[in-house]
Amino acid sequence: MSTTASAPAKPVDTRGLAGQTVGDTSICAVTQTELIYRGYEIADLAANATFEEVAHLLLVGHKPSPAELKAFKDEIASMRALPASVRDAIVRIAKESPKAHPMSILRSGVSLLSHLDPECEDNAPAAELRKAKRLLAQIPAIIGACQRTLDGKAPVDSDPSLDHAANLLWLMSGTKPSELAAKIMDVSLILYAEHDFNASTFSCRTIASTETDMHSAVCGGIGALKGPLHGGANEMAMEMLKDIDSDLAAAKGSMNVDQWMQRAFAEKRKLMGFGHRVYKNGDHRAGILRGWGLKLAEQLGPNAKKWFDLGDQVQAIMLRDKNIHPNVDFPCGMTYFILGIPVPQYTPIFVASRITGWCAHIMEQHQNNRIIRPLAEYKGPALKKWNG
């Protein structure tokens, strides 16, 4: 009886903890086909909820009643003002270090807030929820003070009549956003609010597992999110589209988008805004945000819509040649750009949303804690004698 040797199994690449389950959570579920926040699917939330409702869902743990939502919104609005010393520090840093990345300035702002929060060192559940609400309320003010200073203008105060998304746009620009612009920002904040054990959230949980304070864990999350392979991908996606547009203009008809992409493939250029560790068949958040962004682009006219036309060509080529779908960062770059948001502020806006998910995870970690301390497989030299 003859046997045929089977090919050896291809080793599984588990670097970066790929495919590894490292803990339990009741906050979020991510599968290839669904993104669920505490039992509610993301498309349902994007179509029917507001960001404040989602923030309550994540932080408090359940969908708010109308009375709970009003109380939550009123409480958040009452917490928006930055301490004068923090606001002055943000303005000074932005003036004296105009090349500092806004994410670094935001990280410093959160660290400064920790010194003035009377409950900073209190990890009791009630205290942590109050701290989470204060961070949710004040992070947009840090972003706004930074951007207004970079624009050579004085920061503006929060407007208590505006919802969270609209107030964020107001703080950055000093102009009340249109209803459509505010809605688009609101939807984008919902889409970015939570995503289980991603790099920044896992960083927050790892830091929190030492039983340190929430502000320290959030600072770690901001540092992780800053990287271009994580939160900074939306910035890089828009910079890529700007590069394509600029190169095509310089070529004066001698190059098209397909040729630019083939050159990028040959140069092994990393094209940001595509692919995902979990969503192998496409990030369903991307289609939701693209739809809203395109609606605004069509309203604004050809100069805005050209970015979506260009993006659609790039997306089609990536799918045709590489079988790689866009993730939510790709349409985010275009959408924030036509909203008039400076590219370096894209990732800080991500923080204004993801602070809800981070804080929910920090609280969950503290409430059932065990320090996160994985093992490593040593690949160094064999044991040697120092004097041998």
Alpha helices, DSSP H, located in the chain: 42-48, 51-60, 66-78, 84-96, 102-116, 125-150, 164-173, 179-192, 199-208, 214-225, 233-251, 257-266, 284-300, 302-322, 329-338, 346-367
- Active-site option among 159, 230, 245, 312: 230
Contact present, 149 and 344 (Cβ < 8 Å): no
- 345: closest CA among 224, 238, 210, 199? 238
Over its C-alpha atoms, the chain yields an Rg (Å, rounded) of 22
Residue tagged 């904040």 (tokens)? 189
Dist CA 347 CA 334 (whole Å): 14
- 309: closest CA among 262, 248, 259, 257? 257
- Angle separating helix axes 302-322 and 329-338, nearest 10 degrees: 170
Burial of 106 (0-12, 13-18, 19+ CB in 10 A): buried
Residue 321 is a catalytic residue: no
- Active-site option among 117, 186, 329, 361: 329
Dist CA 151 CA 171 (whole Å): 12
Sheet with strand 40-41: strands edge to edge: 28-30, 35-37, 40-41
- Active-site option among 164, 195, 215, 276: 276
Residue 230 is a catalytic residue: yes
Contact present, 286 and 325 (Cβ < 8 Å): yes
Dist CA 132 CA 41 (whole Å): 23
Residue 329 is a catalytic residue: yes
Residues involved in catalysis: 230, 276, 329
